[in-house]
Structure 1
Amino acid sequence: MIRRCQGTNRREWVVDIEADGVSTPSAARRRVGALLKEVRLRTDLSLEEAATAIQRSAATLSRLERGRQQKVRILEVTALLDHYRSTRKDAFSAAEQEHILQLTERSTEREWFRQYGGPMTTENAARYAEYENDASVIRSFEPELVPGLLQTRGYAEAVTDAAFSGGDVPADQRARVVDLRIARQEEILSRPPGTLRFDTILGELALRRRVADVEVLREQLERLLRDSSAKRPDITIRIAPIELGHHALVGGPFVVMDMADPEENGVVYLETRGDPLFLDSDDTVDRFRGLYTELSAAVLTAQKSRALITRILKDLH
Structure 2
Amino acid sequence: MTRLLSPAVYRRMIAFELQRMRKAADITQQEAAEKLGCSRVRINHFESMRNLPRSADVEVLLPYYGAAERVEEFRDVIAMLKDVPHASDLARLAEVPRGFDIYLGLEQGAHSIRSYEAMIFPGLLQTPEYAGALMRGHDDDLPEEEAHRRTELRLARQQVLARQGTPLELTTVIDESVLRRRIGDARIMREQFDHLLEMSARNNITVRILGADVGVHPALHGPFTLMDFAIPGDPGVVYLEDRLGGRYYEDADEIDEYIGVMEHLLARSLEESESRRLLRQAREELIR
TM-score by length of 1: 0.79
Instruction: State the Cα distance separating 1:201 from its structure 2 match.
Output: 0.9
1:280-302 deviation line (CA, Å, top 9, x unaligned): 11122122112111111111111
In 1, Cα distance between equivalents of 2:169 and 2:145: 33
259, 267, 287: which one pairs with 2:257?
287
2:48 maps to 1:78: no
The answer to whether the Cα contact below 8 Å between 1:139 and 1:200 also exists between their aligned partners in 2 is yes
Deviation at 1:272, TM superposition (A): 3.7
Cα RMSD after superposing both structures: 2.8
Measure the CA separation in 1 of the matches of 2:188 and 2:274: 23
- What's the CA shift string for 1:201-223, capped at 9, x where partnerless? 11112112111111110100000
Taking a change above 3 Å as real, the CA distance of residues 84 and 174 of structure 1, as seen in their structure-2 partners, is: same
Instruction: Kindly state the Cα deviation for residue 31 of structure 1 after the two structures are TM-superposed.
Output: 2.0
Letter in 2 for 1:58: R
Contact persistence 2:100–2:246 (CA under 8 A): no
Secondary structure of the corresponding residue to residue 32 of structure 1: helix
Tell me, in whole angstroms, the C-alpha distance in 2 between the residues paired with 1:254 and 1:39.
29
User: Contact 1:194–1:234 at 8 Å: present in 2 too?
Assistant: no
Select the structure of larger CA radius of gyration.
Answer: 1
Q: How does 1:278-317 map to 2 (within 5 A)?
A: 278-317=248-287
Bigger shift: residues 215-224 or 42-51: 42-51
TM-score (norm 2): 0.86
Verify: 1:199 aligned to 2:181, yes or no.
no
Q: Tell me the equivalent position of 2:200.
A: 228
Give the Å deviation of 1:129. 1.1
Distance 1:299 1:29 in 2: 35
Structure 1 segments unaligned to the other structure (5+ residues): 1-15
Deviation digits for residues 108-140 of structure 1, max 9, x if unmatched? 3346634624322x5511121122122112111
Name the SS for the 1:310 alignment partner: helix
- Structure-2 separation of matches of 1:148 and 1:99: 35
d(CA) in 1 for partners of 2:258 and 2:182?
30
Q: Which of these residues, 118, 130, 154, is aligned with residue 94 of structure 2?
A: 118
Report the 3-state secondary structure (helix = DSSP H, G, I; strand = E; otherwise coil) of the residue aligned with 2:225.
strand
Provide the C-alpha distance between the structure 2 equivalents of 1:104 and 1:182, rounded to a whole number of angstroms.
30
255 and 112 in structure 1: CA distance in 2 versus 1, 3 angstrom threshold: closer
Rounded Cα–Cα distance in structure 2 between residues aligned with 1:45 and 1:127: 28
Separation in 2 of the partners of 1:235 and 1:43? 40
Quick check: 1:155 aligned with 2:130?
yes
Matching residue of 1:99: 73
Give the direction of change, closer, same or farther, for the CA distance of 1:178–1:52 in structure 2 (3 Å limit).
Answer: farther
Corresponding position of 1:217? 189
Q: Describe the SS at the equivalent of 1:201.
A: strand
Quote how far apart the aligned CAs of 1:192 are. Answer: 4.3
Distance 1:170 1:96, change over 3 A: same
